Amino acid sequence: MNRRPFDPRLLRRVPAARRDLAVLALLGGLTALLVVAQATTLAALLATAIDGRLDRPALAGFLIAVAGRSLVAWAQGTVAARAAATVKAALREELLAAVGRHGPGWVAGQRAGQLATLAGRGLDALDAYFTGYLPQLVLSVTVPAAVLARVFFADWGSAVIIALTLPLIPVFGALLGWQAQAATERQWRRLSLLGGHFLDMVAGLPTLRAFGRDRGQVEVVRRMADGHRAATMKTLRIAFLSALVLELVATLSVALVAVPVGIRLLGGGLTLSTALLVLLLTPEAYLPLRAAGSRFHASMEGLTALDEALTLSAAGPAPGGPAPAGPTPAGRAEPVPAPDGRGEIRFEGVTVAYERTVALRDVTLTIRPGERIAVVGPSGAGKSTLLNLLLGFVAPTRGRVTVGGVDLADVDPDDWRRRIAWVPQRAHLFAATLADNIRLGAPDTGDDALAGAVTAAALDDVVAALPDGLGTVLGERGHGLSSGQRQRVALARAFLRDAPVVLLDEPTARLDTASEAVVLAATGRLVAGRTALLVAHRPALLADADRVLRVEDGRVTELAPVPAGEVAR
């Protein structure tokens, strides 16, 4: 975990923020000059006022310095807020790109909650870092340097005391900061676990209710939330303790300067104007360091989220797992043109090994153009992994997959996916119109082609029953449609895609008999004349298959033709 107050990866990964950070540095230098000017003019003004005179130039200079500091402070806030917005937008875009690059398997399980928490609350915590801590970090460098230079020319003895005591604040701040950093990391881990578990629980709430386990999960969430509360309180205790320590060190340091200055002033060793100047400038030297220390604790959650976002968005494949599908890695040749999908598909000694299991073992398989292959086997045997290999969601640990003699590892996965129509087990429908959901894979398709896809998928009666037809806005996940109707929408997407390769992952799962018959008829029309790979549990899907493959324990074997009612389970 990165413990530095500024992560240099940020400048490389978000170049758009460089200008704002450079402006912040310039404003920090200007603030230092204005601090010195304000103290100098105020010291001269007070020294003359004690004698009953008014130094008008000093008064004018003081007012100008105060107005200048106010203006610069406003500019710092504006630039810092803009930098925060730029960085958050860029990191969220990188996280989404990483999800697309690695594929659905990368975000499965606990990582889904981790990413949701990170992209939401986690990156929002960067506001405190950019608008609070980072400007103070700049000032903690520029202001003490300017104050030391000015005090040295006025009274070098006081400058020596300031120079010796200034390092005490960052030293004590670092000692306490290490403890606070460890506590913040524990707090963030607990929050990520809580977010991931809560997301999984909400997604599976119907199942939990059906089996009467929903109340048990309430207690689990309560325990996790209590753990997060305890970690948060421990972090806050350390932050409050550090603020007390820094204030005490700064106060004692100012006293070490003020007491000798007062004694020397009484003894005639210093003029009144010089003494006032030193006493006004000394607190200004410690103030940015104290403020940076307190703001650092407020920004720790953002720093932790920043490190995690930069690490996750640049993450490569897990050791021993399949390489992520995505842009060509550095050092490899440019992607070759994707095959048109009408050639022979070959799996050559393909093994897919994840961190804790092997999904496929040494699979060698040939699918001829236009052939319809049914895949059967127990749940978790590796059937969906076969489809994911063709979709580019996973890559082989060993072996290769070729289409028309072209290795899919060498092509742009997005270009290849345009040649594929995919109908998953649970088609995800978005909160958009029915027409937009059908056009998901072919957004530029005209109305005539859209109407043809609706008819081919036997979706006409559904469209007719909706209040606005194809313009009806659906709820998230297709709320308002039945399972069979959602599956027909997925088939309409595939018809509209008009791709040479069709992949179907148990399209009739969880459907009643009537819905299954409609989907099966539409499926038969979809795979006609196309190369098709169908994952099937129900016998009805096997009727039109040219070959039946069985996947068990990661190994693929071909079954002899059998009656549909005797499909191996």
Confidence grade of residue 108 (pLDDT, cut at 50, 70, 90) = low
Overall average pLDDT of the 460-476 stretch = 81
Instruction: Locate 421 and state its tokens.
Output: 């129509």
Residue range 273-326, pLDDT digits in tens:
888 888 888 888 888 887 877 777 667 777 777 877 787 777 654 433 444 444
- Kindly report, residue by residue over 247-286, the tens digit of the pLDDT: 777 778 788 888 888 888 887 777 888 888 888 888 888 8
* pLDDT band for position 329 (cuts 50, 70, 90): very low
Which pLDDT tens digit goes with each residue over 374-412?
888 887 778 888 888 888 888 888 888 888 888 888 888
Helices first, then strands: H and E counts in the chain? 20, 10
Least confident of 109-113, 252-256, 275-279, 459-463: 109-113
Q: How many CB atoms are closer than 10 A to CB 29?
A: 16
**3-class state of residue 555 by DSSP:** strand
* Dihedral sign (CA 388, 392, 394, 397): positive
* 327 in a structural domain: no
490, 509: one domain: no
Q: What pLDDT is attached to residue 71?
A: 95
Measured CA angle at 212 (ends 206, 214), to 5 deg: 65
Q: What is the pLDDT of residues 220-250, one digit of tens each?
A: 777 777 777 777 777 677 666 666 777 777 7
Average pLDDT over the chain, rounded to an integer: 78
| Residue 561 pLDDT greater than 60, yes or no | no
Contact 492, 456 (CB under 8 A): yes
Contact 375, 535 (CB under 8 A): yes
- pLDDT exceeds 50 at position 331: no
For residue 45, is it left (φ>0), alpha (ψ between -120 and 50) or beta? alpha
Instruction: Give the domain CATH number at 526.
Output: 3.40.50.300
Q: What is the mean pLDDT of residues 118-135?
A: 82
Q: How far is CA 275 from CA 42, 158, 266, 271, 331, in A?
A: 12, 10, 10, 6, 65
Structure tokens at 11: 């400048």
Q: Is pLDDT larger for residue 189 or for residue 269?
A: 269
Check which CATH number belongs to the domain holding 119 and give it: 1.20.1560.10
Tokens matching residue 383: 């059937």
Specify whether the CB–CB gap between 555 and 361 falls below 8 A.
yes
**What percentage of the chain reaches a pLDDT higher than 70?**
79
331 lies in a domain?
no
Same domain, 504 and 493: no
150 HSE (CA, 13 A, CB side): 28
Q: Looking at the domain assignment, is residue 478 inside a domain?
A: yes
DSSP, collapsed to helix, strand or coil, labels residue 328 as coil
Asked if 355 and 218 sit in the same domain, the reply is no
Structural domain containing residue 28: 9-313
Residue 276: inside a domain: yes
- pLDDT digits over 46-79, tens only? 888 877 777 788 889 889 999 999 999 999 999 9
* Number of compact structural domains in the chain: 3
> 203-212, 460-469, 554-563: lowest mean pLDDT where?
203-212
Domain identity same for 484 and 519: no
Burial class (CB within 10 angstroms; exposed 0-12, middle 13-18, buried 19+) of 123: buried
| 24-38, 227-241, 482-496: the lowest-pLDDT one | 227-241
- 69 in the same domain as 50: yes
Mean pLDDT (whole number) for 35-42: 89
**Domain edge (last residue) among 441, 467, 498:** 498
Q: Which of 456, 474, 498 is the last residue of a domain?
A: 498
Q: What is the pLDDT of residue 176?
A: 62
- pLDDT at position 409: 84
Q: Are 564 and 555 in contact (CB under 8 A)?
A: no
pLDDT of residue 2: 45
The confidence score (pLDDT) of residue 334 equals 67
Please report whether residue 288 resides in a domain. Answer: yes
Q: Predicted confidence band at 517 (pLDDT cuts at 50, 70, 90)? A: confident
Please tell me whether residues 46 and 133 are part of one structural domain. Answer: yes
260 and 377 part of one domain: no
Residues 46, 179, single domain; the answer is yes
Whether residues 47 and 147 fall in one domain = yes
* d(C-alpha 521, C-alpha 456), whole Å: 9
User: Tell me: the pLDDT tens digits for 86-100?
Assistant: 888 888 888 887 777
Sign of the CA dihedral 170, 171, 175, 178?
positive
pLDDT at residue 200 in the model: 65
| Residue carrying structure tokens 């297709």 | 478
Radius of gyration of the chain from Cα atoms?
Answer: 33
